[in-house]
């Protein structure tokens, strides 16, 4: 296997990377086609479902009117748009000001372009760790997720995943300033930007320890040794300063917005938590989610849903343990672990958990590696069947309860 230190050149959009993006675009086109047909049959607008419902409405309202809007519900809960991080609305406002696009249309364009950037970033990371064939399948697996239609919505998941994936790629290849800057931007996109910050910090600390102890930190490609997550260049003053600066930059986005919200609300550093509490969002270690699952076993029909939820959580945990067992590079393990923990252990609306898990793409790498070892025909047939199922489910989902 080639050490990452010899593979730090930015990936070019050709060969396997181009195939991965073409495959990704085909899956997303299938999903959009299914949505358009299903919506037309129900006299609904697919475009409206993608751009002007649920969270996308809150983002476009921030882009158009700024912060300060809130809704008081009959039960006393207060839904404030301060809960939504600013990078996506900023981009929507910029595109609206410089193009004929509406705010909603700008959000859709950002999502489409960001989803392609995210797919390329997923490929770049998987290719770096496991090779181009696994990179191709990692992208396709990310595309065919049951809630993959969200990648084409005016939501922030695609934008966040793109920033996270390329920040991880940068840290894996020793581009510290790039990684720190992208982590800063990820922190301005979603609260889970903390996962990218944690990955950058873990990599920085581990690199410092490694250079101090001269002990290599390696991963594994299946049964084989995989590359170190940091280039094997000699430590010097400039590299130390770049790493330190990256670690300083990484948390500034999330910390800056949270502190600004606290100042605006007059509640100090914990003001953002109060805003989230108005949405009944918080971190309770998974207690509310556990009670939600337990409540499903009060009757036979809902018990089946409870069994499905337990199986889904078990699958996610199992995939993470496989990632650990295969010794993925530390930044990937830290990032995926934090995203998974925040998604599963938050007290937010439980139907949103699959969407919140979507950025945790390193969890897909063991499956991508397994598909890469199969014959191409078999892998393509399996993914094709899943893609059709995902497209149908996405169309059904958006025309129903949708992504809260």
- DSSP assignment of 117-161 equals HHHHHHHHHHHHHH-HHHHHHHHHHHHTSTTGGGGGSSSSHHHHH
Average pLDDT over residues 2-31: 77
Contact 394, 29 (CB under 8 A): no
Closest by alpha carbon to 162, among 183, 138, 136? 183
The per-residue pLDDT for 234 is 56
pLDDT confidence bin for 1, thresholds 50/70/90: very low
pLDDT score of 114: 98
The helix (H) or strand (E) run that includes residue 79 is: strand 78-80
End-to-end CA distance of the chain: 43
Average pLDDT over residues 132-147: 96
- Residue 222: the pLDDT is 39
What integer pLDDT is reported at residue 223 of this predicted model?
Answer: 36
Torsion angle (degrees, nearest 10) of CA 358, 360, 362, 368: -20
Angle (nearest 5°) at CA 180 between 179 and 185:
95
**Do residues 272 and 261 touch, judged by C-beta distance below 8 A?**
yes
pLDDT band for position 349 (50/70/90)? confident
Q: How far is Cα 142 from Cα 360, in angstroms, rounded to an integer? A: 9
Q: Which residues are paired to 220 by β-bridges?
A: 225
Rounded to an integer, the average pLDDT of 348-356 is 81
Backbone Cα Rg of the chain: 21
**What's the pTM value of the predicted model, to 2 decimals?**
0.90
Q: Is the pLDDT of residue 359 over 70?
A: yes
Q: Is the Cβ–Cβ distance between 56 and 158 less than 8 Å?
A: no
pLDDT level of residue 400 (50, 70, 90 thresholds): confident
Answer for the pair 288, 298: CB distance below 8 angstroms, yes or no.
Answer: no
Count of other CB atoms within 10 angstroms of residue 120: 23
- Residue of 79, 83, 80, 84 whose CA lies nearest to 59: 84
Q: What residues form DSSP beta bridges with 346?
A: 283
**pLDDT for position 286:** 74
Q: Which residues pair with 228 in a beta bridge?
A: 218
pLDDT category at 9 given cuts 50, 70, 90 is low
What residues does each domain of the chain span? 15-281+376-398
3-state secondary structure of 72: strand
Determine contact, residues 237/204, Cβ cutoff 8 Å. no
The mean pLDDT value for 354-378 works out to 95
Q: What is the pLDDT of residue 227?
A: 41
Angle between helices 271-278 and 252-265 (to 10 degrees): 80
């Amino acid at each position: 296997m080639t050490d990452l230190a010899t593979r730090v050149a930015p990936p070019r959009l050709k060969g396997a990377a181009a195939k991965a993006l073409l495959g990704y675009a085909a899956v997303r086109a299938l999903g959009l086609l299914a949505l358009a047909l299903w919506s037309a049959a129900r006299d609904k607008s697919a475009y409206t479902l993608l751009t002007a419902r649920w969270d996308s409405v809150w983002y476009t309202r921030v882009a158009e009117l700024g912060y300060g809007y809130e809704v008081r519900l009959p039960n006393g809960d207060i839904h404030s748009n301060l809960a939504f991080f600013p990078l996506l609305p900023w981009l929507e406002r910029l595109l609206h000001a410089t193009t004929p696009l509406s705010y909603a249309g700008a959000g859709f364009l950002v999502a489409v372009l960001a989803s392609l950037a995210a797919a390329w970033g997923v490929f770049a990371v998987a290719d770096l760790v496991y090779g181009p064939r696994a990179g191709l399948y990692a992208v396709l697996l990310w595309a065919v997720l049951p809630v993959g239609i969200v990648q084409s919505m005016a939501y922030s998941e695609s934008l966040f995943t793109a920033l996270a994936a390329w920040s991880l790629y940068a840290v894996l290849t020793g581009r510290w300033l790039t990684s720190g800057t992208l982590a800063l931007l990820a922190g301005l996109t979603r609260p889970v930007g903390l996962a990218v910050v944690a990955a950058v910090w873990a990599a920085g600390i581990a690199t410092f320890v490694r250079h101090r102890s001269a002990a290599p930190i390696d991963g594994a490609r299946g049964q084989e040794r995989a590359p170190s997550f940091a280039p094997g260049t000699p430590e010097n003053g400039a590299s130390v300063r770049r790493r330190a600066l990256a670690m300083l930059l990484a948390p500034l986005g999330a910390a800056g917005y949270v502190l600004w919200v606290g100042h605006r609300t007059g509640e100090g550093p914990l003001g953002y938590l109060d805003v989230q509490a108005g949405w009944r969002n918080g971190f309770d270690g998974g207690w509310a989610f556990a009670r939600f699952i337990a409540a499903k076993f009060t009757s036979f029909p809902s018990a089946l849903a409870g069994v499905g939820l337990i199986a889904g959580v078990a699958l996610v945990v199992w995939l993470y343990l496989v990632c650990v067992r295969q010794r993925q590079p530390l930044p990937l393990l830290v990032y995926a672990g934090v995203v998974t923990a925040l998604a599963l252990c938050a007290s937010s609306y439980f139907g949103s958990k699959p969407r919140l898990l979507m950025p945790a793409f390193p969890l897909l790498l063991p499956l991508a590696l397994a598909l890469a070892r199969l014959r191409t025909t078999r892998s393509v047939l399996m993914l094709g069947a899943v893609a059709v199922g995902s497209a149908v489910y996405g169309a059904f989902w958006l025309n129903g309860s949708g992504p809260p």
